[in-house]
Amino acid sequence: MTYENLLIQEEGSILLLTINREQAMNALNTATMLELKRFFEEDAPNRHHIRGIILTGAGERAFVAGADIKEFLALDASEGAAMAQRGQDIFFLIENFYKPVIAAVNGFALGGGCELAMACHLRIAGEKARFGQPEVNLGIIPGYGGTQRLVQYIGKTKAMELILTADMIGAEEAYRLGLVNYVVPAGEEVAKAKELLTKIIEKGPIAIAKVIESVNAYYLHDVDGFAHEVEAFGYTTGTADFREGAAAFIEKRKPNFQGK
């Protein structure tokens, strides 16, 4: 598949996905959102050799500085709701993707950019990264999941403050609040994400997929997360990967997982 706004680089079993609109600070216009949808819905699932994805933005200034506000100006209420729903659906594809997706946040992650980072499973922030949901400055609210995921990650009290004030926070505060997993020197975001992914992809791929599924189930109102965990645990015990992992543990060797 070819893309106009995404760059794809494979390094062994790790794929680096770059939002490539540096001139627009990697803003998420409609074309870019549809390319993200196509990638996670059609392309990535067929790259069977890929075990994890790193998502970042081109250049040094921005991960994603927001959505393309110019596209919002002609929307009426129903069209705005449809746009928000489409954005949420695309970000759910990322959040529920069965292989780990790590955001390497290399600058501004604002509005839709903060929402995109939060849809990833883990987040690495460069020391110059800035996070925020500034939508109220424009007289609108976050529409791609920001009012929900920010509460999940940092709690209602601080999330309410940040969304109501439109304040930005730096990488260190984002780490203190639990929004990001690591803060690294600027320019080392992708390297740290690769280090983390390398550790993760040594584990059983079916187990990794079931962990993502089960942790996400905690936040689904119509799903009993504990029951989901029981079902997922049972599924993993019936896999060849479990038999290999158990044998390797007993034999004190490194397991050779096959994803079966």
Nearest to 99 by CA among 169, 62, 40, 52: 52
Give the residue among 30, 218, 12, 194 at the shortest CA–CA distance from 112. 30
Residue 201 CA to residue 257 CA, distance in Å, equals 10
Q: Which listed residue (35, 135, 173, 189) is catalytic?
A: 135
Asked if 41 is an active-site residue, the reply is: no
Burial 95-132 (b: 16+ CB within 10 A, else e): bebebbbbbbbbbbbbbbbbbbbbbbbbbbbbebbbbb
Q: Find the helix packing angle between 77-95 and 112-119, rounded to 10°.
A: 30
**135 classed as catalytic:** yes
What residue has token string 């790590």?
Answer: 102
Instruction: Give the residues across from 122 on adjacent strands.
Output: 102
Local structure of residue 39 (DSSP, 8 states): I
Q: Tokens 């970000």, residue?
A: 91
For residue 257, give both structure tokens: 């997982």
Under a CB-based contact definition with an 8 Å cutoff, are residues 127 and 185 in contact? yes
Query: Which among 10, 11, 95, 115 is annotated as catalytic?
Result: 115
- Amino acid at site 39: F
Q: How many CB atoms lie within 10 A of CB 249?
A: 10
Q: Are 119 and 145 in contact (CB under 8 A)?
A: yes
- 3-state SS of 129-161? CEEECCHHHHCCCCCCCHHHHHHHHHCHHHHHH
Catalytic residues: 115, 135
